Structure 1
Amino acid sequence: MTASMKVATVTGPGKAEVLDADHPQPGPDDVLVAMRACGICGSDAFYITIGGIPPRQGHTPLGHEPAGEVVEVGANVSGIAVGDHVVINPMATPGNIIGNGGAAGALADFLLIENAVRGKSLEVIPSHIPWEVAALNEPMAVARHGANQCKPKASDKVVIFGAGPIGLGATLAFKSLGVSHVVVVDLIPARLDKALQIGADAVINSADEDVVARLIELHGEGESGISGFSRRAGTNIYLDAAGVPAVVNTALAAAQKGATLGIVGVHKEPVPVEFVNVMSNEITIVGSMGYPDEIFEVTKDIVANWERYAMIVSHTIGFAHVGEALEMASTPGAADKVVVTF
């Protein structure tokens, strides 16, 4: 092996470069993974814009959606072998967070997994799963946690706002959890087509349809806790995977008594909420962040249904052109999901 490797790194505000770094040296409790694919997240563009995040402001290694092949295994590690294809939990390394301000990032030739434990820090996947699909494991865990937070029942009727990667992942999550009817709302026809292809029961184009009226058509009319108030949809769960105020406003205007509004999309500005409505209709509002338990829960579903998950990836770009990949992922409308391959 060479003495150095390449790592995509934030080096200042608005600037990311590929730098040389020391080749990782695994100890007896560690596993060394040769990267094969790494997805690009919206947070990567944010880190570049602000010049990195503490404690490595100005020198933040990027990449937290990794999949790769095991090339070295420490003597004390069990259940992992050289040649295994693995997905990785970027939050499980001791005192470190891969690609989120830690000392290492997955947009690199190699990634060292310290204190490696199968089922906690990494998990083996079958070799037939395409690398770019395996790299969806981390964002799909985010989507799965968003669905789990809403505590769905099989009889529930669900609407998801936003048909980006997390919204599509949530669609797959709700269907995997046995939900009876899932509607996806977006402004972009191509995204709505993709939602139908991966298993949504219906879609609504909010650019030219009345969302509440269509939900009433699809899910029936629901009960309102305020007499004489506007008509309510029979939808049980609303999931905001878009992170825009209009979604919250629409969901709360449509929500029937006892409905749940889950927030997994990142809101960049405060959203006013009419709490008399929330109280009167006993609406549950629940937030979702990360994946406390779902990082490898979702792996089984990806393996079982990888062809559907594959449709979420819109672009694959080689690591030699990682700058182009980062720019594409940060340009609104340029791509849905970009995965860097090695």
Structure 2
Amino acid sequence: MKTVMVTGPGQTAVLDVERPEIGPRDVLVKMRACGICGSDGFYIAIGGIPPRQGATPLGHEPAGEVAEVGAEVEGLEVGDHVVLNPMAAGDGIIGSGGAQGGLSEYVAVRDAKVGTHLVTVPKEIPFPVVALNEPMAVARHAVNRTRPKAGDKVVVFGAGPIGLGAAIGYKLRGAHVVVVDIVPNRLDKALKIGADAVINSAEEDVAKRLIELHGQAPPSFAQGERSGTDIYLDAAGAPVVIQTVTATARQGATLGIVAVHKKPVELDFGSILTTELTIVLSMGYPTEIFEVTRDIAENWEKYALIVSDTIPFAQAERALTLASTPGAAEKVVVTFD
């Protein structure tokens, strides 16, 4: 079979490798779609995951169809559509340092257990949408970390796939959601997936607009006018987001950070002391990988709006280049025949 691997710093190749053989407790999944994540570009740049000897398989957002089922595996049949949990694989995280990658024609799930390693999904959901499961689990963990409740006023900075996924998650919890970005078509998409309002931070005063949308917070020790926003989520990774939040957050607000900040960010504890701002970090998806699957199944048309480009596996290297080119695409998914 063919698989995409990192072969050196800045280098990838589609290589021929042996198709996995399965045992009685294993499942062989024919890949039907695999999303490309920003971290894939990072893995390529550094030459491995982590840098190591030999080629490294890519692709950690896999969705597929069951091709073979071991005799001892329960709850699965050939032809079932499934989504995988990359972090549960016994031979290492799929596409993130493990022995297998989702940008392959087949993936073997060892000691497969439904609900732990993979789950079935309705067959009417297009595979590119199913392949959103992993990044949407990342977004859902960020939502869960900020502990929203119905009626909360939320602002999400960044209308990329994670930010949009989080916006959907907050709306499903009954929150009022504002999305901030600088790209008009991203803001249009945020409205289509259900955001209550959007702010173009390149053209508008974010602090002023948040007060207009979420009201002004009651007076407190903090100086200046403060927004009534309850939860801020940084899915953008820009230092200005942190500066904006600390300057506008009300007493007792929460700041969640799911974005990767590539450089240190200055944080003035003296300033935020007066607001008792709660800051929570979010990484991965400890419990959310299949929690979000149910929501995707029920709302897949809305999630489908997040996918911007689908590219066939035969052009996988072009897909990787497109996904890593700033501004060229928002969410690229590789599809398999």
The bucket for the TM-score relative to the shorter chain is over 0.9
User: Secondary structure at the residue paired with 2:49?
Assistant: coil
Amino acid at match of 1:316: T
2:292 to 298, 301, 320: 298
- 1:283 alignment counterpart: 277
Q: 1:56 to 1:29 in 2, by over 3 A?
A: farther
1:205 to 183, 196, 200: 200
- 2:328 alignment counterpart: 334
Q: Percent identity between the aligned chains?
A: 65
Is it true that 1:31 corresponds to 2:32 in the alignment? no
Give aligned pairs, total. 336
- 1:82 alignment counterpart: 78
Within 5 Å, which residues of 2 pair with 1:141-290? 141-179=137-175, 181-226=176-221, 229-290=223-284
Q: TM-score, normalised by structure 1?
A: 0.97
Amino acid at match of 1:92: A
C-alpha distance in 1 between matches for 2:124 and 2:55? 36
CA deviation after TM superposition for structure 1 residue 78, in Å: 0.6
CA deviation after TM superposition for structure 1 residue 55, in Å: 6.7
Is it true that 1:46 corresponds to 2:42 in the alignment? yes
CA deviation after TM superposition for structure 1 residue 56, in Å: 3.8
C-alpha distance in 1 between matches for 2:18 and 2:170? 43
Within 5 Å, which residues of 2 pair with 1:52-67? 52-54=48-50, 56-67=52-63
C-alpha distance in 2 between matches for 1:64 and 1:53? 12
- 2:66 alignment counterpart: 70
Q: 1:122 to 1:21 in 2, by over 3 A?
A: same
For residues 10-57 of structure 1, the C-alpha deviation after alignment (integer angstroms, 9 at most, x for no partner) is 000000000011110011111100000000000000000000123744
Amino acid at match of 2:56: T
User: Secondary structure at the residue paired with 1:258?
Assistant: coil
C-alpha distance in 1 between matches for 2:101 and 2:226? 46
C-alpha distance in 2 between matches for 1:57 and 1:283? 45
Q: 1:41 to 1:281 in 2, by over 3 A?
A: same
CA deviation after TM superposition for structure 1 residue 75, in Å: 1.1
User: Secondary structure at the residue paired with 2:86?
Assistant: coil
Q: CA RMSD in A?
A: 1.0
CA deviation after TM superposition for structure 1 residue 88, in Å: 0.5
C-alpha distance in 1 between matches for 2:3 and 2:233? 36
Within 5 Å, which residues of 2 pair with 1:76-155? 76-155=72-151
Amino acid at match of 1:6: K
CA deviation after TM superposition for structure 1 residue 224, in Å: 5.0
Q: TM-score, normalised by structure 2?
A: 0.98
Could you tell me which runs of 5 or more consecutive residues in structure 1 were left unpaired when the two chains were aligned: none
Kindly indicate whether the alpha-carbon contact (under 8 Å) linking 1:51 and 1:57 is maintained by their aligned counterparts in 2: no
Could you tell me which runs of 5 or more consecutive residues in structure 2 were left unpaired when the two chains were aligned: none
For residues 286-331 of structure 1, the C-alpha deviation after alignment (integer angstroms, 9 at most, x for no partner) is 0000000000000010010000000000000000000100000000
CA deviation after TM superposition for structure 1 residue 341, in Å: 0.1
- 1:315 alignment counterpart: 309
Q: 1:320 to 1:95 in 2, by over 3 A?
A: closer
C-alpha distance in 2 between matches for 1:119 and 1:224? 48
User: Secondary structure at the residue paired with 1:233?
Assistant: coil
